[in-house]
Every structure is written in C-alpha cells, then in structure tokens.
Amino acid sequence: MSGTVEVDEFYIGGQHPGKRGRGSTGKSIVITAVEKQGRQIGRIRMQVIPNCSSASILSFIYDNVEPGSIIISDGWKGYLPLDDERYTHAPLILDTMPDKESALSGVHLIASLVKRLMIGTFQGSFGTKYLQYYLDEYVFRFNR
C-alpha cells in the first residue's frame, strides 16, 4: 500500500458487558489499513493483533505500507513511535475535531462492513481461531 493510508483498529466479537473500545475483554482486535485515493478507497489490509501496543501496530504498518507514504491515524499513543524517516504521520485528535464522523472514514466504513458480514453470514457467532481466515477472504474479495 502506498500514498495516503488510514490506519486504525477496531474490536469484533459478540456483545459483552463491561468496558467498550480499548481494554474490552472477550473481543478480538483487528487493525485495518485503507489506501485513500481522494474520496475513494483503494486497497485494504486487515490483521488480528494481540493488543494495541506500539510493537503490534508498527509491525503491521511496516509489513503493509510502503516507506514514503502518509499515515493518517487517531491520536492513540501506540502510533507515536512511527518512524519519521520512513513515513509522514498525520495523527487526528478526534476530541478536538468538530466533525468526528468524517475522520478516518475509510477505516470506519471497512470496519462496519466487516462487522455486518460477520453478523449476516455467521449470525454473530464465529470462532476467533478462524477470524484471520475470514478477514483474509474479505480483503481478497474487496481488493479484486
């Protein structure tokens, strides 16, 4: 992937009581990268990661995004160590933005489509053991 790339993570899994978002239990974390071409979406990549640490996030970015690209992410501290010599990092601080819905729209669109796929196809019940395979198939179909 190259050019302008949005990167963000989302949680997928059934409804569980307790904390939502980062730090929730019983859900899988999926990091997503979306190549932006103006207002359109280019190629995508998704991967299940064990946590939202810098090591997990940066490993995904280094494996999937070409050096020289612009990385757009939220203000999560896991993106801070991103190598400035390889990438131009443009973090969006969502709390200070007047229009939060339009921020990272490509990644949020893909996340909602994947969640809808899991609800519609698997009735919300899928094995986390096979989640990466489902994501790989979705990425293959989307990119083609």
Q: Where are the domains of the chain?
A: 4-143
CATH architecture under which domain 4-143 falls: 2-Layer Sandwich (3.30)
How far is Cα 101 from Cα 94, in angstroms, rounded to an integer? 9
- What SS3 class is residue 47? strand
- Other Cβ atoms less than 10 A from the Cβ of 44: the count is 24
Contacts of 94 (CB under 8 A, 6+ apart): 74, 75, 100, 103
How do residues 46-69 score in pLDDT, each as one tens digit? 999 998 899 999 999 999 999 999
Whole-prediction pTM: 0.84
How do residues 79-120 score in pLDDT, each as one tens digit? 888 878 899 988 887 666 666 666 788 899 999 999 888 888
